[in-house]
Amino acid sequence: DAKTTQPTSMDCAEGRAANLPCNHSTISGNEYVYWYRQIHSQGPQYIIHGLKNNETNEMASLIITEDRKSSTLILPHATLRDTAVYYCIARMEYGNKLVFGAGTILRVKS
Amino acid sequence: EAQVTQNPRYLITVTGKKLTVTCSQNMNHEYMSWYRQDPGLGLRQIYYSMNVEVTDKGDVPEGYKVSRKEKRNFPLILESPSPNQTSLYFCASSLWEARGTQYFGPGTRLTVL
């Protein structure tokens, strides 16, 4: 699985969009980008994933650059409950494990 | 409600006393996995199972055993726990064809004295 790089931490004002970047410059053509988050020692929670096209679901949007070397997770209207560690993972669709890096600590502030 | 359950949620034990952490899912998932999480080391996979009676080692399997006799259950067994197994443990499950989209349990915090 390709290595991903994320900022250590970010702050976001409540109600504003949170944009979390992820660099995956060595991603291969058949590796997907997955995002998970972990709220204070709870089990990680799947958010979204994509291959080439931008994706949106009820939780977030995922924007993947055309060259696929980076992506951005967007939480459109961040709330205090979105404060968590966010993990960006590049993996093959049928891989047998998730490899979690250090992630980005997102702090949403009122 | 679709969920992964783990028991116990908290456990303090002593070195060498065998213990089992249970994991159960109600989503008819083929794939199940165990992770441990330690400060500075992140989440690491211990064992995984692709289906009943099929298990394989993850990145840190030493000191652990698993079994998969039923589809819904995937217990983690520590036959002789040691202090370096003090950690936060998570069980996860998914459909076989969607192994990137895993559902995690609430975690078991284990302390081995």
**Whether B43 and A100 lie within 8 Å, measured CB to CB:** yes
CB–CB of B100 and A101 under 8 A?
A: no
Q: Which residues contact B52 (CB under 8 A, 6 or more apart)?
A: B68, B69, B70, B71
The per-residue pLDDT for range B91-102, each reduced to its tens digit, is 999 998 888 999
Task: Give contacts of A42 with chain B, Cβ < 8 Å.
Answer: 106-107
B61 touching A (Cβ < 8 Å)? no
Task: For residue range A30-64, list pLDDT tens digits in order.
Answer: 999 999 999 998 999 999 999 998 999 999 999 99
Residues of A within 8 A of B33 (CB-CB) are 97
**How confident is the model at residue B98, as a pLDDT?**
87
Residue A82 has pLDDT above 90, yes or no: yes
Interchain pair A97, B33: CB under 8 A = yes
Residue B88, min C-alpha distance to chain A (Å): 8
pLDDT given for residue A41 in this prediction: 86
Provide the pLDDT for residue A1.
79
Which residues contact residue B29 at a Cβ distance below 8 angstroms, ignoring those fewer than 6 apart? B71, B93, B94, B95, B96, B103
Nearest CB to B105; choose among A43, A91, A94: A43
DSSP state for residue A32 in the 8-state scheme: E
Look at strands B65-66 and B87-94 and give their pairing. unpaired
d(CA A33, CA A101): 13
Q: Does B63 touch chain A (CB under 8 A)?
A: no
The candidate with the shortest Cα–Cα distance to B64, out of B41, B42, B87, is: B87
- pLDDT tens digits, B56-101: 999 999 999 999 999 999 999 999 999 999 999 999 999 988 889 9
Q: Does B105 touch chain A (CB under 8 A)?
A: yes
The C-alpha atoms of residue A53 and residue A66 are separated, in whole angstroms, by 8
Residue among B58, B101, B107 whose CB faces A97 most closely: B58
Is B101 an interface residue toward A (CB < 8 Å)? yes
- Min Cα–Cα distance to chain B from A59, Å: 14
Alpha-carbon distances of B14 from B17, B21, B90, rounded to whole Å: 6, 15, 21
